[in-house]
Amino acid sequence: MYLGGIAQIALGILTLFIRYIPDAPTGDVGLLVSLFGAGMILFGLFVIALASGVARGSRAARVSATVVLLLALALAIADLIVAGDGDWSGVAVQLVSSAAVILPLWTGAGRRYFAPR
């Protein structure tokens, strides 16, 4: 989960840098791209905070982490639409990192780790 949070922060930083590309739109669209980038960074920090709860075995942290990662994926898709650059790499990275975290939380050994005792 820590890697998912770090990837989210990295994607948010890259989104902020889109504003400095010479052909990037300015004005309201540039502001929206910056706000989405900042939101992605905040989601990444929240995911890292949830990772410690998951490591302790908190079921509430597991559900919260799943919801936050799905929201982060939605944010990456919204960023793709607002930026309008047609670059799907951020969405693909977010999808892979979210799946790599969510699937182990709800299947196999992860499911047994969070089972009521």
In this predicted model, what pLDDT tens digit does every residue of 91-116 receive, in sequence order?
Answer: 898 899 889 889 998 998 888 888 87
pTM to 2 decimals? 0.64
User: Which pair of tokens denotes residue 2?
Assistant: 């820590």
Neighbours of 79 (CB within 10 A): 26
Q: Per-residue confidence at 24, pLDDT binned at 50, 70, 90?
A: low
Q: pLDDT per residue over 41-62, tens digit each?
A: 998 898 788 888 888 888 899 9
Neighbours of 110 (CB within 10 A): 16
Question: What is the distance between the alpha carbons of residues 35 and 58, in angstroms, rounded to a whole number?
Answer: 31
- In this prediction, residue 63 carries a pLDDT of 92
Question: What is the distance between the alpha carbons of residues 48 and 2, in angstroms, rounded to a whole number?
Answer: 5
- In this prediction, residue 25 carries a pLDDT of 65
Q: Which residues contact 98 (CB under 8 A, 6 or more apart)?
A: 4, 69, 70, 72, 73
- In this prediction, residue 85 carries a pLDDT of 80
For residue 57, report the phi and psi dihedrals to the nearest 5 degrees. Answer: 90, 20
Q: What is the mean pLDDT of the chain?
A: 85
